[in-house]
Every structure is written in C-alpha cells, then in structure tokens.
C-alpha cells in the first residue's frame, strides 16, 4: 500500500481526467471513422475502474461509450451512478477493502443497465493476479463474462 499511496499522490485528478478525455476524443475522431462498429467500450481495473465511473458519468451527454467493465474499482463515487448512461459490468470480490461491495451494489442500483458480479472470498486483483486455483477459476469466469458483456453491448 505504501507504493500505491505514493503513486496515487502523483495522479492529479484533473490530469487523469484530461488524459482519458484526450484518448476518447482520438477514438471518436480517428478510430470510429474507420471502424466497422460505431460503438466504444471502456474497461478499467482498480484505480482505472474508479476513473471509469467518472468517465462514464462525464460522457452521459456525448454518449461516446456504449458499455463499460469495471474490475474492482477503487475510490468509486457511487453518487455518480445516476449520471451513467452506458451499461456497466462491475466485477469485484467480497474481500476487497479497496472496492467495497456496498459501493458496487449502490452503483448497480443507480446506473442504468448496470450489473454486479461479486465473487465470494476474493480480494483485490483476483482476476489479473490469481493467488490460488480458485482465484484462477473465478478469473477465467470474470474475463469470459467481460467478453460476453462487451460483445452483447458493442457488437450485437
């Protein structure tokens, strides 16, 4: 946590939001013009998951994003849920102190089309850093769920 707190202190929220908005603008202006699909999805893990919630709330009027997947988002602001227009899949473990299940459930209730997948006994980072065979099985399931979610909302 010490290394994370030091890294986090260097991440000015305005700069992070600006970086995300710059990438979104590039995707909309350049990529979507040539892409077979006119829908964008966004995926965020941990700190990026928390920023995903903010990004989708800012995007509600522009509607650039058609779906999101948030893996164990940290520092998520549940009050933004009602501003989110794109459907979001929230993936977390019930043993994750950085991603409280209560926050995820509140976002699931308030964000349109949101769904929560809460894995019993799993902690922070279980999907990309499995520490047991059980973690690995749940990670495989979570990634398959993400793939299906993005397919259903971006390609179907």
What is the pLDDT at residue 9? Answer: 87
Q: Which two tokens stand for residue 135?
A: 């973690």
What is the pLDDT at residue 1? Answer: 66
Sign of the alpha-carbon dihedral angle for 92, 19, 2, 80: negative
Task: Select from 115, 102, 122, 113 the least CA-distant residue to 145.
Answer: 115
Cα 64 to Cα 86: distance, rounded to the nearest angstrom: 9
What is 37-155's CATH number? 3.40.50.1820
What is the pLDDT at residue 148? Answer: 97
Domain extents in the chain: 37-155
Element housing 105 (H / E): helix 101-110
Summarize pLDDT for 24-55 with one digit per residue, the tens: 888 888 776 776 667 889 999 999 999 999 99
The answer to whether residue 7 scores a pLDDT higher than 70 is: yes
Q: Helix, strand or coil for residue 138?
A: helix
Q: Helix, strand or coil for residue 114?
A: coil
Task: Select from 66, 71, 85 the least CA-distant residue to 119.
Answer: 71
Tell me the whole-structure pTM to 2 decimals.
0.88
């Amino acid at each position: 946590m010490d290394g994370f707190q030091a890294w986090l202190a260097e991440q000015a929220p305005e700069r992070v939001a600006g970086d995300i908005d710059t990438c979104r603008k590039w995707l909309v202006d350049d990529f979507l013009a040539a892409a077979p699909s006119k829908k964008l999805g966004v995926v965020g893990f941990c700190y990026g998951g928390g920023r995903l919630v903010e990004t989708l709330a800012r995007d509600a009027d522009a509607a650039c994003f058609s779906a999101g997947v948030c893996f164990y988002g940290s520092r998520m602001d549940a009050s933004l849920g009602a501003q989110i227009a794109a459907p979001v899949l929230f993936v977390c473990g019930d043993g994750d102190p950085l991603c409280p299940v209560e926050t995820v459930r509140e976002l699931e209730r308030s964000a349109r089309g949101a769904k929560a997948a809460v894995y019993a006994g799993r902690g922070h980072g279980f999907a990309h850093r499995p520490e047991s065979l059980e973690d690995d099985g749940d990670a495989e399931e979570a990634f398959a769920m993400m793939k299906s979610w993005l397919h259903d909302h971006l390609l179907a």
